[in-house]
Structure 1
């Protein structure tokens, strides 16, 4: 469990810099350059991600159960997860979807985390998915007080919504039918 917690702390420490101290982040970029800042940021985030994955995998071998969700919550989770991939794709293919929801990536993270919390009740699940949910909520709130930043994306267009929905639903199906089992080792739908 300590690897999971260390990974969560590292990963969210760097991802929370703008939430807790955006001026410091700007100073670091000015002092060290954008490329160097992003390189260090990425290495720390990657180390945190690796520790999270390893720690979560180890914690699943001897789980501490906090709650046992009823089967119907698994079905609700599958419904909540349906828009996750279209929202993620809409982040990089801006159109009416990204304009309507404003922060498609954060909404996708919230839905993904909430869906997994509904379907899983082990301590490791609560730590991992609860951390993502709490971070996404905090980040969304902090956006009200931060200066807007532009992120690289293709130009906004009406075809982007179709790309986001079709590609996103294709990814959702791929995860449900194959990728979740292959990558995570757990089928998302009981056979």
Structure 2
């Protein structure tokens, strides 16, 4: 469990720098240059992700049951995850109505993904992983929206075809992950 917590602290810590140390971040970008900062940020994020995945794998070897969720919550999680994939696609498809409305659809996606997985998985390592991501995403979403409002930032809404494309990409990515990649990468079949 210690490695999982260390991985979470490093990964989410790096992703929280703008939340808690925006001035320091700005000074580092000035000192290192945009590309230097991105390289350092990426390296630390990757290291945190590797430790997080390794720690989660270790924690899974010593499961501690917190609760046994009913099967219906697995199906509800599938719905939440489907919506999360659409929101994730909305973060990258320019000019879609979802991003125009939410501003930060990736953070909304993480909130839905983490919340759904908290409902569907009752082991202690699941609670630690998904609970940490949910807490981080809730805080980051609120701060990011507040920062956007203070700066007058808006996200343009393009033609409806961009939103349709966003939904199609999100649903296709969800299907690939739910029916093939999840069991391959995580070792758990969402519907099995």
Conservation of the 8 A alpha-carbon contact between 2:69 and 2:121: yes
1:127 maps to: 128
2:166 maps to: 164
Q: What are the Cα deviations for residues 65-120 of structure 1, in whole angstroms up to 9, with x where unaligned?
A: 11111121112111111211111111111311211222111110000000110000
Conservation of the 8 A alpha-carbon contact between 2:56 and 2:125: yes
2:10 maps to: 10
Query: Aligned equivalents of 1:187 and 1:149: distance in 2?
Result: 44
Q: What are the Cα deviations for residues 93-151 of structure 1, in whole angstroms up to 9, with x where unaligned?
A: 1311211222111110000000110000111111111111011011012124436699x
The within-5 A match list for 1:95-110 is: 95-110=96-111
Conservation of the 8 A alpha-carbon contact between 1:11 and 1:48: yes
The within-5 A match list for 1:169-180 is: 169-180=171-182
1:77 maps to: 77
1:187 maps to: 189
Q: Across the two proteins, how many residue pairs are aligned to each other?
A: 188
Instruction: Please state how far the C-alpha of 1:38 moved relative to its aligned partner.
Output: 1.1
RMSD: 2.1
Deviates more, 1:158-167 or 1:103-112: 158-167
1:60 maps to: 60
Conservation of the 8 A alpha-carbon contact between 1:90 and 1:160: no
Provide the secondary structure at the position in 1 that maps to 2:116. helix
Provide the secondary structure at the position in 1 that maps to 2:91. helix
1:113 maps to: 114
Structure 2, unaligned stretches of length 5 or more?
Answer: none
Conservation of the 8 A alpha-carbon contact between 2:104 and 2:145: no
Instruction: Please state how far the C-alpha of 1:156 moved relative to its aligned partner.
Output: 4.3
Instruction: Name segments (4+ residues, structure 1) moved above 6 Å.
Output: none
Conservation of the 8 A alpha-carbon contact between 2:103 and 2:145: no
Query: Aligned equivalents of 1:125 and 1:115: distance in 2?
Result: 11
